[in-house]
Amino acid sequence: HLSLMGRARQGNDIVVASIFVNPTQFGPKEDLDRYPRDAEGDRKKCESAGVDVLFMPEAKEMYPDKPSVFVCVEGISDILEGAIRPGHFRGVATVVAKLFSIVKPHAAYFGQKDFQQCAVIGRMVMGLNLDVEVIVLPTMREADGLAMSSRNSYLDPEQRQKAVCLFRALAAGEELIKSGVREPDKVKQKMRAILGQEKGVEIDYVEVADPDRLAPLEKLGGRTVLLVAVRLGSTRLIDNL
């Protein structure tokens, strides 16, 4: 997130950052209550990144009444993450639409790690003719390739070592494609095999998809996104290339 703020600082006169753990995008059995929060630490980090305005509303400010108005982006919200987390992207699209309405930014910066979220927001902006440019920046990674994520803090040392298998699987899939493999199933088999080498890693999905529609590809040749999601203990991790 600090890298997004830094890029925003480079290209804009005023930078606004929002920090809000949005209850409408968490399912009833998900980690809303234990999701990492560090208000004072986050405030200092935002200040160090050159943020001008920090927007940190309470849930009752964003949702003074029981939510009854939602933004639904059909077609790409009920697959992959949306299939496993029903209603998640409805909550995401709704809170981002509210944020855009409150702040009225010229540009909004998101990280590619949440690839499907970026696709949903991009589709929402086009579908509602919102006057904001959505800018997606590359995933920030640890030295061993693990995508940076708030949920990495849930991992114990052994799980943290195993979690690198996501990036290894994605890199192997990329290598196969660049070597000339054109059958998505072969790529998925290779990625699944690498994930399966780590005991305790439960695969939610491995997909080779069209980056715009997120639909599975029948043959490779153009732009492609590789997506993986796994459970490691009680922690869910996602990544993509």
Contact criterion met (CB below 8 Å) for 79 and 227: no
The letter for the amino acid at 233 is G
Helices 184-196 + 165-178 axis angle, to 10: 150
DSSP annotation of 197? T
Q: One of 1, 9, 168, 186 is an active-site residue; which one?
A: 1
Query: Active-site residue 1, yes or no?
Result: yes
Report the run of H or E that residue 170 belongs to, with start and end: helix 165-178
Closest to 151 measured CA to CA, from 81, 42, 225, 239: 239
Which class for 164: exposed (0-12), middle (13-18), buried (19 or more C-beta within 10 A)?
Answer: middle
Residue numbers annotated as active site: 1
